[in-house]
Amino acid sequence: MEKLIEGFPNQMKRAMEIGEGIQLKNSESPILNVLISGLGGSGIGGTIFSNIVKNELRIPLTINKTYQAPVFVNENTLVVVVSYSGDTEESISVLKQVHQKGARIVCICSGGEIESYAKNNQLDYVRIDGGMPPRAAFALSFTQLFYVFNTFKLISDAFRSDLIKATNLLLSLQNDIRSKAKELAHHIHDTIPIIYTTSDFEGVAIRFKQQINENAKMLSWYNVIPEMNHNELVGWTKTNKNLSVVFLRNQNDYERNQSRMDYVKSVIDNFPATIQEVYSEGNSIIEKTAFFIHLCDWTSYFLSIENNVDSMEINVITSLKNKLAEQPL
């Protein structure tokens, strides 16, 4: 896992190489809405992507993480099915449903049943490099979403330069990011980390939680501001040193949300074992997102060392998949 995380900036470069070579058929019908369907390490890219493009995309974008396709899907829907392995059963189920509905489909995978289905039915697909745990191949699948959306003229070309800047930023800050992550892991070790950020970075918070779950074998949860100010904030009434709080912040967060974060800090000040604040680096939302992902991935790895667990092992997930395979769809 250490080598995989270390290689994240170069994986972004490789992802851009793949993206620049994408060739997709034109859509016969106008695209009026978009669905991105995927789960786990493959699906989180869609959530983060939706946060990034929400102020540019002019049609509705829905993120799907289950077996069923939404009823609204039709010939005017662009459906992007993301499954790193190409064998995620929920994604296969959705792919077959949206194909029957006549949707415009693009698959992103490294092979598997999804690639075979796409080939057999003359559907567009983007093949990415395989051989890694899906959570460690995040950049490969996530980056393709920008190129797919750009191909259909749903977003501008601006992402290209931002991706390059993000890669250069991570390479220039590698040692600093590792150092900060190691320190953060030490502070939140032996606690249940609670991750707070603004709704603009909700996907990043979910990714951090997921990495803590899978790599460090720890429970964690997250919430976003301002939503948590209307409910969860009231739950902070007692000291609980089994908890820690990590704020993921940006210097350009909306002013009212910055005030809310400061107030939340003052309310919960003495309740958890520790409160940590992490500020992003970079200028664009893509740079800031890449910085957070890299730092949080490193943090989850250093937590696995603190916990003396194998960051690669996910036996309980494998066991569940094997159990379900006994009764295939």
Concerning whether 241 is annotated as a catalytic residue, the answer is no
Q: How far is CA 68 from CA 65, 96, 197, in A?
A: 9, 10, 30
CB 46 within 8 A of CB 36: yes
Candidate list 90, 115, 202, 214, residue with the active-site label: 214
Beta bridge partners of 19: none
86 CA to centre of own chain? 17
Candidate list 25, 54, 241, 321, residue with the active-site label: 321
| Rounded CA separation 164/287 (Å) | 9
CB 107 within 8 A of CB 124: yes
Kindly provide the residue ranges of all beta strands, DSSP E only, lying in 29-147, ordered along the sequence.
33-37, 61-64, 77-83, 104-109, 124-127
Candidate list 20, 28, 153, 230, residue with the active-site label: 230
CB 69 within 8 A of CB 98: yes
| Rounded CA separation 329/173 (Å) | 46
Concerning whether 321 is annotated as a catalytic residue, the answer is yes
Which residue, among 48, 115, 105, 49, has the nearest Cα to 81 in the 3D structure? 105
Would you call 266 exposed, middle or buried from its count of C-beta atoms within 10 A (0-12, 13-18, 19+)?
Answer: exposed
Concerning whether 214 is annotated as a catalytic residue, the answer is yes
So which residues are the catalytic ones?
A: 214, 230, 321
